[in-house]
Structure 1
Amino acid sequence: MEAFPYADVDSSLRAMAGKAEGFGRSAVGGLHGSLHSVTTLADDGPGSLREACSKTEPLWIVFDVSGVIHLSSDLSVSSFKTIDGRGSRIKLRGRGLRLHECENVIICNLEFEAGRGRDVDGIQIRPSSKHIWIDRCSLSDYDEGLIDITRQSTDITVSRCHFKNQDKAMLIGADPSHFEDRCIRVTIHHCFFDGTRQRQPRVRFGKVHLYNNYTRNWGVYAICAGVESQIFSQCNIYEAGEKKKVFDYYPEQAADKPEAESGVIRSEGDVFLNGALGTGTHDTIVFHPSEYYSTWTSEAAASYFLKGILQTCSGYQAMVRPIDDCDLLDSPVDHSNDPDENAFTTTN
């Protein structure tokens, strides 16, 4: 597809730094740090992903192993980190990633599944985290949500991700008492919400730009606008299953306001299939993305190719690891552990 965004980021390992579209466009991750290899599937200890993410210095983290990492607790990610799953196949199970008061983080080409426990999310972003880019990840089957963005976390882009087998997909703004979340700004594009029941996303307070996403067969609603949220839905595909309502509006009372109100949704260029009923908000002001960034890559939702591309190219992608273009490698990259679709190693 000619308009597919940042097709050149796999030309070299660090080429993706700063290439996000939308609100997370400034995320550089570990661009200015050394290349760091994860060498074990163990939950903790030397060579583990947890050890790498806990380091204070910038790191571009890659994997010399493929398989399942069973997380016994949430894995905290510190600032200026890239977790780059290209060239391997890594599944995180049991718990998820926690981005707590951090900035400049890129998470790319990982799989998150089977997260168990109360308040366990695939990726939890809170509080006060910023400049985050989540790209080409597959997320499914968590007891709580797949991605939560709350507590004044902002300037975040979620792109080319695949969400499936889940009740609550994505929450942006957790509670009407958190009126400080008016600062939240999130871009979601080229994602595939594949039969997730609700929250694609569900938003309070924040500004959210959705474009070129494919959402199908939801169970409650596709998009929900809670208290004071502003959602710009542009050139998305909404394909209904049994439930036809695309946009829902939940009146809620902000803690610093006397009356309850819902959010607003502007729909522009969206396509509604199989009886999907999408009614945007009228006679109200919704932000326009051009107020914050000048360009983004969008295809007409009615394009013959868009739906197929989003089903094929969202989520984890099997690929070789790009060559690092910095002079930080002591030896050539060994691709002997490139992903095998049918071969997995696990560790407890």
Structure 2
Amino acid sequence: MASHSLSLLLLSLLLTLALVSSSSVQDPDLVVQDVHRSINASRRNLAYLSCGTGNPIDDCWRCDSNWEQNRQRLADCAIGFGKNALGGRNGQIYVVTDSGDDDAVNPKPGTLRHAVIQDEPLWIIFKRDMVIQLKQELVMNSFKTIDGRGTSVHIAGGPCITIHKVSNIIVHGIHIHDCKQGGNAIIRDSPQHAGHWQVSDGDGVSIFAAKDIWVDHCSLSNCNDGLIDAIHGSTAITISNNYMTHHDKVMLLGHNDAYTEDKNMQVTIAFNHFGEGLVQRMPRCRHGYFHVVNNDYTHWEMYAIGGSASPTINSQGNRFLAPDLRFRKEVTKHEDAPESEWKNWNWRSEGDLMLNGAYFRQSGAGASSTYARASSLSARPASFVGAMTTTAEAPLGASAGAASAAGVVVAAGPAAAGPGDSPSGAGGEEISCSGASAEGVGADTTEGVAAGVAAVGAEALGDDAGVAALGAAATGDGEALGDTDGAAEGGRAVTVAAATAKMRARATNWRAIVEINYKG
């Protein structure tokens, strides 16, 4: 009993260490000053922000049972270097009603593509569970939030998300997987502009020359290139609470060794679960400053954290479970340089929990002051990582259409006009897109999309559950969504349910193994 009370007391004390972040300024020293100011302010506001899970992002919004009535409060819950990402805060709510993507130049109102290219801030939510197979990469405009809470939304089987030379983006609660190359095509990126895009890499989330970015509570797997890549001077980024599986080169931060504009890059990687089927780059860093804190590493085949070109890597409070392979126990990999060079790179491990023979090869000066620019929040003890990363994934979806039931406004705006045309409904006018859903369902029944959905179900699961999902996607079940949107959407719902249930089962199984190893 005394031990239990002591544990509760310790947890209470730890909850007073609120996680904080920097501003989006380019000078890393100014960022550090902002971090310290934020730490003090967060501690003063602890009683309001925390409800006892230890994960400050979840504690910030999940404590409120009526969070759907104030979705935009999520923007106040960001931590780390991407803390200042506003997303679509203070903008209208845009409800995506159509999972189609028939036209990358003139997208239909009610589609995700139409939502993300608008000029004004928008908080984008979804009417129901969806599988969205994009024809071209989804090029986002600034000040947008993609919020999948309350539904199960998959972006899969085609090109995925591109955040290119914009700012203030939040991507939350989306399943992103089986992403393919796209491009060599005309794609609209705003109501006034559409241009030619070269062939993309096939990343899950591609961040290029962008800042103030927050990717949170997403599930990512099996993409053509990286799951999340940030390059070309991108900075002020937080990657948190994500569940990543079944991929080789997971995360690249920094374009190449010669691209010195990445020297001021600052990225926080916190509360993520790096799960089964991962090989390397969790992350792979170049130049810049990287805070890797309170993550759960349950799988890697080559290494977990690597880098080149003298990045500063601050690893704190993570849990590393090494693979059984004898020569794969090392967490780190210093790349593209002899030891005489990389021994001066500033890499440290502080408070990390090493299991099954895992070890972190430290290098550099070792003084705490060296890591000031790579410090964005207060780390919790690594022994709490399992509890703090329990929700590290996209949601399974609670109630399709819950957003509409909560009384939000469908504010879709007009169809994208040609270059130079002024969109009607500007200035905050609310425009209903109630007719878009029926049209979108018809588009979903096209042969290419139906085949893509079936392939996603089979490839993502790769077993009997995948075969079942494939059958469901092929035959359809009009009652699966609880409405009459048609067989194609019903099949999609079955595929979504099977895929997300499998993800949850895998996560639970491997967490149990890690807990047994730790306690044993």
TM bracket (short chain): 0.7 to 0.9
- TM-score, normalised via structure 2 length: 0.59
Q: Secondary structure at the match of 1:106?
A: strand
Which of 102, 106, 117 lines up with 2:166 in the alignment?
102
1:268 aligns with 2:350: yes
2:81 corresponds to: 23
Using the TM superposition, give the Cα deviation of residue 302 of structure 1 relative to its aligned residue in structure 2, in angstroms: 2.3
1:256 corresponds to: none
More strand by share: 1
Number of positions where the alignment pairs a residue of Structure 1 with one of Structure 2? 330
In 2: Cα distance, 1:72 partner to 1:290 partner: 43
1:37 aligns with 2:95: yes
Which of 47, 56, 73 lines up with 1:5 in the alignment?
56
Which of 137, 141, 144 lines up with 2:225 in the alignment?
144
In 2: Cα distance, 1:153 partner to 1:123 partner: 13
Q: Secondary structure at the match of 1:281?
A: coil
In 2: Cα distance, 1:229 partner to 1:293 partner: 13
Larger radius of gyration between Structure 1 and Structure 2: 2
Does the Cα contact within 8 Å between 1:86 and 1:319 map onto a contact in 2? yes
In 2: Cα distance, 1:223 partner to 1:286 partner: 20
Letter of the 2:172 counterpart? C
Which of 311, 314, 317 lines up with 1:229 in the alignment?
311
Q: 1:120-167: CA deviations, max 9, x gaps?
A: 10000002x100110000000011110001000000001100010000
In 1: Cα distance, 2:279 partner to 2:374 partner: 31
1:246 corresponds to: 331
More helix by share: 2
Does the Cα contact within 8 Å between 1:213 and 1:236 map onto a contact in 2? yes
RMSD after superposition: 3.0
In 1: Cα distance, 2:126 partner to 2:403 partner: 13
Does the Cα contact within 8 Å between 1:91 and 1:111 map onto a contact in 2? yes
- Identical-pair percentage: 32
In 1: Cα distance, 2:71 partner to 2:482 partner: 17
Does the Cα contact within 8 Å between 1:265 and 1:286 map onto a contact in 2? no
Q: Quickly say closer, same or farther: Cα 1:132–1:288, change in 2 above 3 A.
A: farther
Does the Cα contact within 8 Å between 2:312 and 2:371 map onto a contact in 1? no
Does the Cα contact within 8 Å between 2:135 and 2:159 map onto a contact in 1? yes
In 2: Cα distance, 1:96 partner to 1:323 partner: 24
Unmatched tracts of structure 2, length 5 or more = 1-51, 182-199, 412-480, 484-489, 498-520
1:121 aligns with 2:203: yes
- Taking CA–CA contacts closer than 8 Å with sequence separation of 6 or more, which of the two structures ends up with the larger relative contact order? 1
Does the Cα contact within 8 Å between 2:118 and 2:141 map onto a contact in 1? yes
Q: 1:99-118: CA deviations, max 9, x gaps?
A: 00010000000001111237
Using the TM superposition, give the Cα deviation of residue 87 of structure 1 relative to its aligned residue in structure 2, in angstroms: 1.3
Using the TM superposition, give the Cα deviation of residue 281 of structure 1 relative to its aligned residue in structure 2, in angstroms: 1.4
Q: 1:238-289: CA deviations, max 9, x gaps?
A: 1011221111112459xxxxx9657431110001101112121143567667
Letter of the 2:281 counterpart? R
- TM-score, normalised via structure 1 length: 0.86
Which of 358, 363, 367 lines up with 1:281 in the alignment?
363
Q: Secondary structure at the match of 2:258?
A: coil
Unmatched tracts of structure 1, length 5 or more = 254-258
Letter of the 1:8 counterpart? C
Letter of the 1:264 counterpart? N
Q: 1:175-211: CA deviations, max 9, x gaps?
A: 0121110011000100001131000000000101011
In 1: Cα distance, 2:178 partner to 2:119 partner: 29
1:315 corresponds to: 393
Does the Cα contact within 8 Å between 1:227 and 1:260 map onto a contact in 2? no
Does the Cα contact within 8 Å between 1:63 and 1:85 map onto a contact in 2? yes
2:238 corresponds to: 157
In 2: Cα distance, 1:286 partner to 1:299 partner: 17
Q: Quickly say closer, same or farther: Cα 1:133–1:330, change in 2 above 3 A.
A: closer
